[in-house]
Structure 1
Amino acid sequence: MFRFRLFCLLVLCTVAVGSRVAPVSAAEPDDPWPGLVQDIFNNRPMNDGSSVLAIEMPYRAEDAAIVPVTLRSKLAPDDKRSLKTITLVIDQNPAPMAAKFELGPDARVSEISTRVRVNSYTNVHAVAELSDGQLYMVKTFVKASGGCSAPAAKNVAEAQNHLGRMKYRQFARADQGPTNGVREAQIMVGHPNNSGLQMDQITHLYIPAFFIDELRLWQDNSPILSMQGGISISEDPNIRFTYVSNGAKTFRAEAKDTSGHVFQKEWKVDESGS
């Protein structure tokens, strides 16, 4: 009888130790990407984009409300194809399609940087459509949370005072000629870009979604790029990009928001690039 009890005790100990060593794993969360491919891209085939496009984001974001992201073309100079659009998708965000950039046919945009909100740990996909009609996808993973519901940096009055205010900057590059060549520029638009998930700290009511949903840029009358934006673009949208100058004398921007406001401004291009 003693030996039987000892045997049972040893069996129970073995099971207990085994359960600690190899616990039952938790179910993996559902991957939203297949559904997003259907909803955003109509289930079009996705090719490996590692030789076409690069996406750069911090693995762990310092501030989930202003996470930097850079999209960079990797097409070789002798590649006959060109970038037509780039779509940025933050898989786990409430509205996953953060932005769709349409590139001017003659501007040869090769790099776009902006800032986005990230609501939870997520894959981020960038999908390029090339002139061959194919889609090419790359992805990265970002650890961040709460970006879509983070309080605005400006109060309501301050945000209204800056509403639609545009700034344009041009940066010098070593490969830039006096009137043409590669240019690097930045456009900034004052706007709260409310996500609809932020709470008013005084009334404790949710602030309605209110954001820039369209931005267009030209050199003279030639399109450089346009953006269809959503709630994932950070407060005061900021787009930095490279393009090839056609010798234009002016740079022009137009932005529209979800309340029907239209903001427009034009600047003279500094040929020195400074």
Structure 2
Amino acid sequence: MLGRRSRLPWFAGLLIATHFAVTPAAAAEPYDPWPGLAQDIFNNRAMNDGAGLIAIEMPVRAEDAAIVPVTLRATLPPGDVRRVVAITLVIDQNPAPMAARFELGPDASVSEISTRVRVNNYTDVHAVAELSDGQLYVTKTYVKASGGCSAPAAKNAEEAKGRLGQMRFRQFAKAAEGPASGTREAQIMIGHPNNSGLQMDQVTQLYFPAFFVNELRVWQDDSLVLAMEGGISISEDPNIRFTYIPNGAKRFRVEAKDTEGHVFQNEWKVEGSGT
């Protein structure tokens, strides 16, 4: 036996040793922050599958990681008497994952919200809908983007300062295009740098401090349409577009606050209100 083993080709042992040396170890499972985020943000409440009830739309690969479009849609099945109370947007791999929480007015029937966000790494993005019975429903998508939270501001500091708090309001459906009770669409745009705290001043090599719109409320007269609690993931010059059901109000009112205590307010006549 020993003689036979000694007659093995001289390189056999080398091949075996090389095989074990170069075979990579099993890759470690990538870290998934979602379980921890669900516990921290939602107090570990039970999550139901949101398919057919809550949807999230984002590009698979973002053209610009600093302004990634996102649309949230909530649709209750026919006969479901509950309503959607709030929708929370979570960008799992961002430094501050909770991008925004939208509270929906009880009578506004908001079913779609669109905005623009920063995405810092390839990541899952979750949308969680809370219903009036306290149940949570979740869905997710995956986005390929990186560097959005540290990308330089599109506007210089002086230009951004001059636009601070300026608001624009748009309505997209004319009264003549359908019944006044039908779904309408509106958009609020706020001039604000929405600094993430991760952007560097290329001259001083210092980081701009975080400075962003953290509260937004929209009313039809005195009836709440939606409220937003925002974070650093909302892009520069926050832009919120939403659907709603008119209630006969004459005015749209908007109030926004930022992390330095500024309060911005404005109001606009509702198209077709007649006054």
| TM-score, normalised with respect to structure 2 | 0.92
One-letter amino acid of the structure 2 residue matched with residue 129 of structure 1: E
Q: Contact (CA 8 Å) 1:178, 1:271: kept in 2 or not?
A: no
Q: Deviations over 1:210-240 (max 9, x none)?
A: 0000000011111000000000000000001
CA shift for structure 1 position 267: 0.3
**Distance between the aligned counterparts of 1:174 and 1:265, measured in 2?**
22
CA shift for structure 1 position 164: 0.3
Q: Deviations over 1:23-49 (max 9, x none)?
A: 323312321111111111011011111
> Which 10-residue stretch deviates more, 169-178 or 104-113?
169-178
> Which 10-residue stretch deviates more, 8-17 or 226-235?
8-17
Q: Would you say 1:190 and 2:191 are equivalent positions?
A: yes
Q: Contact (CA 8 Å) 2:174, 2:272: kept in 1 or not?
A: no
CA shift for structure 1 position 247: 1.4
Q: Would you say 1:71 and 2:72 are equivalent positions?
A: yes
Q: Deviations over 1:136-195 (max 9, x none)?
A: 010111111100000000000000010000000111279963533210111000000000
Q: Which residue of 2 aligns with 1:4?
A: 6
**Distance between the aligned counterparts of 1:84 and 1:188, measured in 2?**
23
**Distance between the aligned counterparts of 2:30 and 2:10, measured in 1?**
38
| TM-score, normalised with respect to structure 1 | 0.93
Alignment of 1:236-251 (within 5 A): 236-251=237-252
Q: Contact (CA 8 Å) 1:254, 1:262: kept in 2 or not?
A: yes
> Which 10-residue stretch deviates more, 71-80 or 59-68?
71-80
Q: In structure 2, the residue corresponding to 1:37 is in which secondary structure?
A: helix
Q: Which residue of 2 aligns with 1:123?
A: 124
> Which 10-residue stretch deviates more, 10-19 or 133-142?
10-19
**Distance between the aligned counterparts of 1:161 and 1:2, measured in 2?**
88
One-letter amino acid of the structure 2 residue matched with residue 263 of structure 1: F
Q: Which residues of structure 1 form unaligned runs of 5+? A: none
Q: Contact (CA 8 Å) 1:90, 1:97: kept in 2 or not?
A: yes
Over the matched positions of the two proteins, sequence identity in percent amounts to 72
Alignment of 1:1-274 (within 5 A): 4=6, 6-7=8-9, 9-13=11-15, 16=18, 23-172=24-173, 177-271=178-272
**Distance between the aligned counterparts of 1:44 and 1:80, measured in 2?**
22
CA shift for structure 1 position 249: 1.3
Q: In structure 2, the residue corresponding to 1:68 is in which secondary structure?
A: strand
Q: Contact (CA 8 Å) 1:216, 1:253: kept in 2 or not?
A: yes
Q: Deviations over 1:120-151 (max 9, x none)?
A: 01111110000111000101111111000000
**Distance between the aligned counterparts of 1:224 and 1:247, measured in 2?**
13
Check 1:174–1:218 CA distance in 2 against 1; reply closer, same or farther (3 A cut).
closer
RMSD between superposed Cα atoms in Å: 2.1
Check 1:37–1:173 CA distance in 2 against 1; reply closer, same or farther (3 A cut).
farther
Q: Contact (CA 8 Å) 1:176, 1:183: kept in 2 or not?
A: no
Q: Contact (CA 8 Å) 1:210, 1:259: kept in 2 or not?
A: yes
Q: Contact (CA 8 Å) 1:173, 1:182: kept in 2 or not?
A: no
Check 1:105–1:250 CA distance in 2 against 1; reply closer, same or farther (3 A cut).
same
Which structure is larger by alpha-carbon Rg, 1 or 2?
2
Q: Which residues of structure 2 form unaligned runs of 5+? A: none
Q: In structure 1, the residue corresponding to 2:253 is in which secondary structure?
A: strand
Q: Contact (CA 8 Å) 1:175, 1:181: kept in 2 or not?
A: no
**Distance between the aligned counterparts of 1:71 and 1:175, measured in 2?**
27
**Distance between the aligned counterparts of 2:175 and 2:80, measured in 1?**
23
CA shift for structure 1 position 51: 1.9
